[in-house]
Structure 1
Amino acid sequence: MNTAPPADRARVEPLDLVLPTRTHRALAEAEYALGSLNESAQRFTDRSTLVLCTRIRDARSSGALAGEDADLVEALMFHLLVPRAPGDRVALADLLGRHPIGRFVLASAHGTERVAAGGPVDPALLGEISAILTSSEPSGAALPQRTALAAWAAGVRAPGPLSRVARIALAHLHLERLRPFPEANGHVARLFSSLEMVRTGLLRDQILPMSFWLDTHHREYRDRVRAVVRGGPLHEWIGFFADGLRAQALAQLSLVDELDGLRRAHLAVAPKPPSLRRVAGDLVTTPMLTHRTLADRYGVTAKTATQVTRRLVELGVLTSLDDRLYNKVFVCRPVVRLLTTERPVEQSERDGAVFG
């Protein structure tokens, strides 16, 4: 639904807003929580699984995608986590493109590649993301929207004293008001925020599933967008957005701590030999494997890989996905459950939240 009148769409909010002290505190708390998450995640040298599952959770938490079953997620993770031949990349992209969750993962990965290469999160990139999400060709917006998007992009890049969180909050708000990608605008706005947090250095990786918090507070989210359209104070929206980042960052911090605890538990039941211990300790970042991928990753023989998986199955750490005699796929289901299950934000985590 387009909540902004046409005359409002090209207006860019000033980046030198005078914010109440309480809103500044909310922004500082959000940045601190994001910084803590950033540092805590560094205990994992390979964060690709955490990034992948963040993307999946973001997709599942949005609108009609919220009810996808665990089997689908497990299958998706298998296709993305188990290494494949270079020629399979096109086939994998085609497979993912057939499902909304897969398209979201592709769109997010596309944006991440552009940001990693030093590119801006600009209207051109957002148009490409929208096209991936809707399985369509990138198309130009109508002239009024192009003008509004140009003003939006200029506002995102313009210098000013506002913090990174405040700037992202305002840019996200404008995307919701402009609605330049009507078929996928909500996804686009959320992916913009996720990518911009990485581009500006708030996070090193896409490890914050913001969609869960936004959808949990969907009614308030919409009410606050409408309130700004009607001329309400911007600092209330900024405080609301900052509170969401803080709450979700705290939930992710809890997840990282639980994953680390699970790693320690795996090491405790598999103290030796060294090959078994290495694989057991790494399952929190590589929860799916085959004999071949294990042998390639750790430089061990096929016989050793078979012995390791057999022992981990006996210990209850790994489970075979099927009953095949050959080319078995093994999964550490406690890790998959932790990574893909939505984590409610406790009320205590919202204490002290400031909406202005």
Structure 2
Amino acid sequence: MRRADFAAPQCAHLVRTVGGGVAFLPPPLPPGISYAGALVRLLSAAERALGELAGVGDALPSPHLFTRALVRREAVLSSRIEGTQATLSELVLFEIERPGAHSGDVQEVANYVTAMEYLLGPGRDAPTGLWLLREAHHILLTGVRGETVRPVQFRTSQNWLGSTAGDIEEASYVPPPPELVRDCLDAFEHSLQRRHDLPPLLEIACLHYQFEAIHPFHDGNGRVGRLLVALLLVEWGLLPGPILDFSEYIERHRQEYYDRLLAVSTTGDWAGWLTFFLEAVGTQARDVLRRARALRELRDDYRSRVTGVRSSSLLPRLVDALFETPALTINSARDVLSVTHRAATLNIEKLVEIGLLVEVAPTGRQRRFLADGVVRVVNGEAGSPKRVAHPTLHAPGTTTS
């Protein structure tokens, strides 16, 4: 990174770092933002889309079931931005097999889900601050690559971004030197807890930029920064749960995302970054709204198909479980239903028979079943799950005359 890469006003925020290079010291928030015209229209559209999504979330018959499914989608996409290759199907199958199963990439995604649940879990007394982000970072790196880089600690060496040759001079961005990281983070935490006179969405966008510009950890900064967005959307009352998969938009527009963040540092272009952020929020809120409605319709359809007078009274409970974790083993079905192994097997086989579950290749001695229709809707894949023709339902373990 070179001084010549920065507009004259931004050069005031450059400091010396290792090897005689320069690093950027992001100034404290809030920036002097003048928002009007197109930015105001984007803000209104994004707020309206979030309001509609929040309304659908509150109206769902079992909101927590759908929240879990959508959180997993965000976990897959946020981790994919960092190079992790895992699918939603792999994640849910991994979750029902633990602790015996192990896969580095899938474990990273599972850690993201755990970190999200920790951030938004009950019983937290202290306000959101650096301590919480450190704990989330620790969860993200537990048992995976990067675990050896001292999770929970802020970095003690200089890092940089965008240099394929590993040369700091060729880096596209060099965050603050390690000896200044704590001062930057203290200012960040002050802004996080104090709030300003900006609309909440703009403030969240500013905080996300500031965290990424500081880049306080040795690894995992991008994931923690995106967790922060999800956390604040819920904590500040914009959504009832972490149901906005912000990372899907970033994954589709990855280079523009990096360019917009960088331009704030190099040229002070806040308008470009805020425009990108608001477009991302509005686009994803509308997309998740469609998927939430599709999930509700799919759940109603599935329940209607298992509530025949001669079907097992346990099947609706098993159907509901599929919208929280769209995969089952015999053991997990037994736990959901509080029944014997044989009864769990019979109920699962009934769902296979009518096309709500498919059996996938086992690992070891465990039979595994996937609700691929639920997975497709959560993923936003085109087309509705095919309705499978089925005979009149009868209770598992009985026969028709």
Q: Is the structural similarity TM-score above 0.5?
A: yes
Note if 1:36 corresponds to 2:52. yes
- Tell me, what secondary structure is at the counterpart of 2:369? strand
- Measured after TM superposition, the shift of residue 183 of structure 1 is 2.9
1:26 is displaced (CA, Å) by: 1.8
- Per the TM alignment, residue 309 of structure 1 is displaced from its structure 2 partner at its CA by 1.8
Amino acid corresponding to residue 28 of structure 1 in structure 2 = S
Higher helix share: 1
Q: Paired residue for 1:253?
A: 289
The residue type equivalent to 2:57 in the other structure is A
2:90–2:106 contact (8 Å) kept in structure 1: no
Match in the other structure for 1:126: 133
Q: Matched residues in 1 for 2:361 and 2:378: separation? A: 21
Contact in 2 for aligned 1:262/1:284 (Cα 8 Å): no
Gaps of 5+ in 2: 16-23, 156-177, 383-401
User: Which residue pairs with 2:147 in the alignment?
Assistant: 135
Work out whether residues 45 and 282 of structure 2, in 8 Å CA contact, stay in contact via their aligned partners in 1.
yes
SS in 2 for 1:57: helix
RMSD over aligned Cα, in angstroms? 3.2
Match of 1:284 among 323, 327, 331: 323
2: distance between equivalents of 1:211 and 1:227?
Answer: 20
Match of 2:245 in 1: 209
Pair 1:113 & 2:118 matched:
yes
Q: Is 1:16–1:162's contact at 8 Å kept on the other side of the alignment?
A: no
Superposition pairs for residues 269-348 of structure 1, below 5 Å? Answer: 269-272=305-308, 273=311, 274-280=313-319, 282-322=321-361, 327-340=366-379
Q: 1 CA distance for matches of 2:331 and 2:105?
A: 30
Equivalent residue number for residue 300 of structure 2: 264
Compute the displacement of 1:22 (Å). 3.2
Letter in 2 for 1:312: L
Q: Which moved more, 1:158-167 or 1:182-191?
A: 182-191
In 2: Cα distance, 1:114 partner to 1:63 partner: 20
- Shift, 1:135, TM fit: 1.0
Which residue among 78, 81, 90 is the counterpart of 1:58? 78
The amino acid that maps onto 1:52 is R
Percent pairwise identity: 25
Instruction: Provide the residue aligned with 1:353 in structure 2.
Output: none
Q: What TM-score results when the alignment is normalised by the length of structure 2?
A: 0.71
Deviations 1:132-174 (A, max 9, x none): 4321323234221111111111122223221211111001111
Q: Contact (CA 8 Å) 1:59, 1:101: kept in 2 or not?
A: no
Q: Could you tell me whether the CA contact under 8 Å between 2:74 and 2:248 is conserved in 1? A: no
Amino acid at match of 1:265: D
- Partner in structure 2 of residue 196 of structure 1: 232
Equivalent in the alignment of 1:6: 14
Which of the pair has more CA radius of gyration? 2
Structure number with greater CO (CA < 8 Å, separation at least 6) is: 1
Q: How far apart in 2 are the matches of 1:327 and 1:33?
A: 43
Contact conserved, 2:295 with 2:377, CA < 8 A, in 1? yes
* Structure 1 pair 129–286 and aligned structure 2 pair: CA distance change class (3 A): closer
Rounded to whole Å, the distance in 1 between the matches of 2:294 and 2:116 is 29
Equivalent residues of 1:289, 1:331 under 8 A apart: yes
Equivalence for 2:260:
224
